[in-house]
Amino acid sequence: MPEPQLFASGFNIIDGSYIDNFKITSHNVIEHNLGRHHYSYDVSISFSPPSSTTINSIIANQLASYFDSSVKIINSSYGTPYQCSMKRLSYSIDNNSLTIYFEGHAQRV
C-alpha cells in the first residue's frame, strides 16, 4: 500500500507548495486497511491565501477540484502499483484559512 506520505506526494500535496497562489500550509493523511490490498485515507489539506484574497465557497470548490475525482497510479515503497483516487467530503474556513477534507482510496492493480 502507498504509505500516507507517498499517497500525498502522488497527488502533489506538499507543504509549502502553491496551487493558484494559495499555499499548502499543512496536510495530514491517515491510512485505514479495508482488506486485502485495499486502503482508505482520511486526508486534510490546509491552505493560506494571497494577502489580498478572502476565501469563499467558490475558491474552496476551485482548489478542491485539483484533487477531487482524479485517479493516479502510485507505487508503494516496495514498488507495487496502486490505483489511487480522492473524493472531497467537506471544507472549513477559519480566520481566512481553508482546510479541505477528502476521502482517499488505494487498490492494488
pLDDT of residue 93: 93
91 vs 24: CA distance, rounded Å: 14
* Beta strand spans in 1-109 (E): 18-19, 22-35, 38-48, 71-75, 81-94, 97-108
User: Which set of grid coordinates corresponds to residue 30?
Assistant: 491517515
Q: Taking 90 as the threshold, does the pLDDT of residue 43 lie above it?
A: yes
d(CA 43, CA 40): 10
Please state the rounded mean pLDDT for residues 34-38: 93
Asked if 92 contacts 76 with a C-beta cutoff of 8 angstroms, the reply is: no
Find where cell 486485502 sits: 36
- Whether the pLDDT of residue 30 is over 90: the answer is yes
Domain range 4-108, CATH class: alpha beta
Query: Looking at the predicted structure, is the pLDDT value of residue 109 above 90?
Result: yes
Domain map (residue ranges) of the chain: 4-108
Q: What is the pTM of this model?
A: 0.92
Greater confidence (2 vs 70) lies with 2
